[in-house]
Every structure is written in structure tokens, then in C-alpha cells.
Structure 1
Amino acid sequence: MSARAPWVLLVPGDLHTPTGGYAYDRRLLQAWRAQGRAVDVLRLDGDWPHPDAVALARAAAALAALPDGACVVADGLAFGVLAAQVAPHAQRLRWVALVHHPLHLETGLAPALAEGLRRQEGEALRHAHQVVVPSPHTAHDVAALGVPAARIAVVEPGADPVAVPAPRPRAPDGPVELLCVATLTPRKDHGLLLRALGGLLHLDWRLHAVGSATRDAAHARALHALTASGPLAPRVVWHGELAEAALQARYAAADAFVLASRHEGYGMVINEALQHGLPVVASRAGALAQTVPPEAGLLVPAGDESAWRAALAAVIGDAALRARLAAGARAAAQHLPAWPQQAARFAALIDAVVA
């Protein structure tokens, strides 16, 4: 790579934050470096995408310090609200925006805040020479912000090899183990999942919820309160964030994977579920309609409690259906692209921008 055009990965906060977007950033970085690319990481601390004046001033200073000609691959969680800070460097730096999903589509935002984020992100993306998104659905969402289709490219997440044990026999009298891997935020709609499962107490199931309770602590406390007592208390296990080995153990112990999100730009956890041969029940929301293969899972209208209850009842109560969907998941996993392949595709886009 030419010294005249170094690459910089701009990350909002801690690169090791356990979300799909940060996992995408981490695996890109690892694959690029393994392929011999010299990539620096620029960490911008702050409450993204709601930074205060101090975070914005620090971001402006950090961007001003980058050398002329640098190619900045900027995570959209920060880039989308940095239009004013990027504008002075729109020509001297080469900008590639990585949009996991548009900021204004986050669930639970007040209308005025959502509109402000939509406007800010549209302004910021005008400065991007290239916009990369993880799915065709997100490409459509970004185009709606005014970005020409010619400047949008889709690079789906890669998949890492996982050691998947042979399908384990279930004890005939044991519960069906459901797994949900998602941060405890309104967009993931754990509340809907709990309400739907609350109507299935006559079936034998247990829900394991893995995900950070700190991204929206008040929402997480409200969810925990729903299962602190009553009939859901012995049925729902909140694991919080798990280290990788413990997370893989949860996948291995699960009988089905559930994700009730109101929107996803891709849904990388679906790939992990497929690799572990798990039947999937997910919302038909955002890119999930494209991410979940029909032979591997059931897609349910987002927010539809009765439809969710019916889909969960089918998967919990029908072992033959679970086996058929599990076989479909294992077959679909064979066609997932690897991270080195996807990182090379992304790198080719950067090379074209730098050229």
C-alpha cells in the first residue's frame, strides 16, 4: 500500500464493544492486517451517535491531524453525525463510510430526534467517496438518504469457521432451549418475545438471553423486572455479555435461535446460528428477510405478538420441524462467505477510491 494513502479505520469508542457492527469492524481490521494491509485505528470516544461538544471538538482535532491523502474508513455510528467536522477535510482525505444501518431507524427515537439524525447522516454521506453497507436492504435505506446508487456497495459480513459438535440428542422430558443474542435495547424487542412466550406456559421451554444490559440500562432494568417473579421467572435466564467461549457454549446447548428485532442492517448473529445448525425464528424486519434462509427459519412480522406466539409454538412443539429447519441451517451455512474473501472485496473498493 502506498505511503501516500494510508488507511485509517475510524471507530466510535471501544472496538471490542460486543455488537454486530463492532464485530464487523474488528474482523475487517484483522483480515486486512493478515492480508498485509497497514491500517491504523482512530478511536473517537463519546456517546455516539449523540456526542457532546467535547467529543465533537476532539473528533475535529483528530481528523485535522490526519495526513493528506489518507483513506478513512469511518463507522457510520460516528460518521453520520460528523458532517460539520468532515466537511473541511472532504477533499484532502478520501472517505469511505461503513453504514451498518441508518441512525434514524433506531427503535424508540422521538420523531424530532429521528428526523435530526436522518438529516445529519444525509449531509455526512455527501462527503463519502464510497458508502459500504452489509446488505441490499441497507443499500436501499442509504439510497433513501440521497446517496446515488453508484456510490453504494454491498459487502456482506463474513463468517468465521466454528467447531460445531454433532447434533445432540434432546432429553425427551427436557425443555426446548431457546437462545437470543442481542443487546437489551428497544430495537431488539425482547419485550415482545417475553409477551409471546408468556402465552406458551403450557409448553416446555427455557429462554437464554445473551447481551449487554449497559447500552440502555433503564430498558434492561425494565426487562429484568418482567421476569423477576411470576411464571416467567424460572423460564428466562439473563446471561449479560459472555466471553467468546461461553457464548459458543450457549449456541452449542441451544435447540433454536430467536431474534425479535424491529430492524436489522444485517443481523450477524443469524450467521452464527446457521453455523451452529440452529432453527431460527426472526422478525421479517430490515435485512432479516434476506439474512434468514427460508429453509432454515420462520420469519414473523415485527411487533406482531400473536404471530410470534404461533411461530414459537410451532418450533417449540414440533421436533420434526426443528430438525428440518436445523438441516436447512447447516446447509445454508456452507454457502456463507469467509471473512478473508469479504475483506478483500472491501479492500478492492478502497483501492478504487484511493487510485
Structure 2
Amino acid sequence: MRALSEVHAVVPAGIDDPALPSGGNAYDRRVLDGLRALGWSVTEHPVPGPWPRPDAAATACLADLVAALPRESVLLVDGIVASAADGVLVPAAQRLRLVVLVHLPLGVTTPEAAAAEGRVLAAATAVVTTSAWTRGVLLDAYALTPEAVHVARPGADRAPVASGSPDGGRLLCVGAVTVHKGQADLVAALALVPDLAWSCVLAGALTREPDVVDGVRRQLASCGLSDRVHLVGPRVGAGVERAYAAADLLVLPSHVETYGMVVTEALAHGVPVLATDVGGVREALGEVGGGLPGVLVPPSNPAALAVALRSWLTDPGLRERLRRNALARRDTLSSWSETAGHVSAVLERVGGR
């Protein structure tokens, strides 16, 4: 193990809150713990506030903690904070070694935030992204030096293989119930295949966008699917492991995904994936000798999603092929220690070590 080095990490408050699981929080936790395992001294600075739309108190809190850091400190900031804090971080980048970890570029979903995000990323010594797709988006959108923008894809923990049911009817969708995650599209698609045998679990936070959750519940009631689609709230730890173990197919109907960690989580259990072809999802899905370990469909298209669901549910040969491909892809998934290693290499260069 090499000599200890220090990094200060700014993360959103609630990173470890089991009621608010997210891919970004999970990534941050695994990377920070991985850096410690590699010998880094990691000081975490959770910042409260409604990021990425901070109020004055949240911005002041961030400003105070950044001002207290010694000159030349290596500062790693989660993008949900950094992209909305140009007033604090751009000046600070003149005396600190700023590294921004971008999960979802804020300008993708909130165009009016793009200018501030661009200023922060341009001021940073280095930028770490969670997919090649995200890196490409940033280079296209902002005047960044390509050599300063790096990729550290999420890892996955290989798990026991899900047993699977003969008819493939146990569907699982993992993600907070929000507009961008597309659960309303999935319900609309399921309403087009009511004649087939299936059940569906929607596992994810129900508090992020309550109006969307209410809309999905009304949609289920009007389609007569309330007894077949179950909103079970967030699942973490053993709970989410049980959900994957019981699933035949992961369905990810997102409108936006920078990578789609749930894709590799499902594949780590040998569970095939039906997903929208957005962002870095194809990158996460990967490809093996036999082809894709799943099916990709256009986003915001319930009809296409329904066609794919019908094929999965009625074609045993398709199910067998996708399960076989998922098992092959499971063997090629990278680990979280590899992810931490990529981030560590960036920090070493930034810190001059």
C-alpha cells in the first residue's frame, strides 16, 4: 500500500439514508470506501440543502467549508452540488485542486443550469464521469480539455444467480418513481398486455416527486392493474437483493440515464434487462458473444415497450437466449475496486503524486 494521501469529499447530506437510495449516492459511498481501502485519507463533508437547487443557507454552508480547507487541498465534489455552486467553486479552484464527479450533467435535464455547470467544470483541474456517454456529452457541451475528463464506470457485486420462473412473468423496475425514470410509460405498456401472465414490482423512493407517484397510482386504478403492479417503496441492502433474486426481467423505462447501475446490478444476478436505449444504458448492458443480455427499445414509447414485453412473455426461446447472455455478461462485470482505482489514479495526478 502506498503512502497515505488526503482528499476532501463534498457529498450531499443523506448519502447513506436508506429512505433515499440513488445510484449517485451508492456510487459515492462505494468509491469513497474504496479510496480508503487504497490508502487514501478521506474526509467527508456532507452538505445539507435542496441540491441541485440550493438555497442561500446551503450555498453559505458550502462556502464556509471550502474556505476552511488548506491551500492546495484535493477537493472531490459530487456534481449534484458542484454544478450548482459556481459562485463558490470557481473562485476556490484558484487555490484548491478541484475534481468534480459528474453523474448526470445538470444541463441535460435543466438547460438553464448549463452555463453555471460549464463554468465549474472548466475551472476544475479534473472531471470524473461515470460513463463514456457522459464524458462525450460534457465535451460536446462545454469547452473542456479532453485530457482532463475521465471515465470511472460503476462496479457491480457478483451475486447468486436468480432462479427464474418458467413463464418469465416476474417483472422488476428499480428506481425512484419520477418523471425521468418513466414508470408511467411502463404502466401504459403493461396495460397493453393484460392478457398475459405477469406481475410487476416497482421498487424505489415514493417521496421524490409525489405528484408523479399519485399519477401512477391513478393510472394503475384506471387500467385495472392495481393488483398486479406493486409500488413497494425503496429497497436497499438485503431487500434489493431479494428483489433481484425473485425477478425474471429488469425493466428500465427511463427517459434519461447516464449509465444505469440497476442494469449491471440485475446482470450480476443473471437477470436479463429490457430498457430504453438512452444515455449510457447500452454501455452498461454490454455485449457478449451471443449478443445483448437484454432488449433495448426507444424511450417514451409504451407501444414499443409492450411489444418487447409480449415477446419476452410468449417466446421461451428468447427468454432462454437472454438468460444465457445475461449469465455470460455477469462474468465480465467490473468490480467496485476497479472503479475506485480509476478515481484514485485521477486524484493522484491532480495531487501531483
Q: Please name the residue that 1:320 is paired with.
A: 317
- 1:161-200: per-residue Cα shift (whole Å, max 9, x none)? 32335x3453x6xx70100001111111111111011010
Deviations 1:285-329 (A, max 9, x none): 111122223520110011122211111111122222112101101
Relative contact order higher in (CA < 8 Å, ≥ 6 apart) = 2
**1:18 maps to what in 2?**
21
Give the aligned residue type for 2:350: V
Answering whether residue 131 of structure 2 is matched by residue 127 of structure 1, we say no
Kindly indicate whether the alpha-carbon contact (under 8 Å) linking 2:259 and 2:284 is maintained by their aligned counterparts in 1: yes
Q: Which residue pairs with 1:9 in the alignment?
A: 9
Partners of 2:219 and 2:304 lie apart in 1 by 21
Aligned residue runs from structure 1 range 1-355, under 5 A? 6-16=6-16, 17-106=20-109, 114-143=110-139, 144-165=141-162, 167-170=163-166, 176-228=169-221, 230-293=223-286, 294-355=291-352
Shift in Å, 1:15: 1.3
Sort the Cα spacing of 1:259 and 1:80 in 2 relative to 1 into closer, same or farther, 3 A. same
Partners of 1:67 and 1:209 lie apart in 2 by 46
Q: TM-score, normalised by structure 2?
A: 0.93
- Contact persistence 2:191–2:223 (CA under 8 A): no
> Could you tell me whether the CA contact under 8 Å between 2:21 and 2:236 is conserved in 1?
no
Size of the aligned set, in residue pairs, is 343
CA distance in 1, matches of 2:197, 2:144: 49
**Which structure 1 residue ranges, 4+ long, deviate > 4 Å from structure 2?**
none
Cα gap change, 1:229 to 1:116, in 2 (>3 Å): closer
**8 Å contact from structure 1 (residues 256, 322) kept in 2:** no
The amino acid across from 1:266 in the alignment is Y
2:183 and 2:213 map into 1 onto residues whose CA distance is 10
Aligned partners of 1:145, 1:23: CA distance in 2, in Å?
A: 27
**How far 1:224 moved relative to its partner?**
2.0
Equivalent-residue separation in structure 1 for 2:147 and 2:37 (angstroms): 29
Distance 1:130 1:243 in 2: 31
Other structure's SS at 2:227 match = coil
1:6·1:69 contact (CA, 8 Å) conserved in 2? Answer: no
Give the counterpart letter for 1:345 in structure 2. Answer: H
Amino acid of the structure 1 residue aligned with 2:6: P
Q: Which amino acid aligns with 1:296?
A: P
* 3-state SS of 1:14 partner: coil
Shift of 1:335: 0.9
Q: How far is 1:62 from its partner?
A: 1.3
User: Unaligned regions of 5+ residues in structure 2, if any?
Assistant: none
**Letter matched to residue 240 of structure 1:** G
Residue 90 of structure 1: CA displacement? 1.0
Q: Distance in 2 between matches of 1:153 and 1:310?
A: 38
Q: Distance in 2 between matches of 1:282 and 1:161?
A: 21
Residue 254 of structure 2 aligns with an amino acid whose one-letter code is S
Alpha-carbon distance, 1:104 to partner: 2.4
Following superposition, the deviation at residue 226 of structure 1 comes to 1.8
- Supply the distance in 1 between the matched residues of 2:309 and 2:164 (Cα, whole angstroms): 21
**Per-residue displacement from partner, 1:242-265 (whole Å, max 9, x unpaired)?**
231111111111111100101111
* TM-score, normalising length: structure 1: 0.93
C-alpha distance in 1, partners of 2:310/2:107? 33
After superposition, the CA RMSD in angstroms is 1.6
The secondary structure found in structure 1 opposite 2:70 is: coil
1:93–1:2 distance in 2 versus 1, CA, 3 Å: farther
Distance 1:115 1:245 in 2: 38
Amino acid of the structure 2 residue aligned with 1:201: P
Deviates more, 1:5-14 or 1:93-102: 5-14
Percent identical among aligned pairs is: 35
Counterparts of 1:61 and 1:2, CA distance in 2: 29
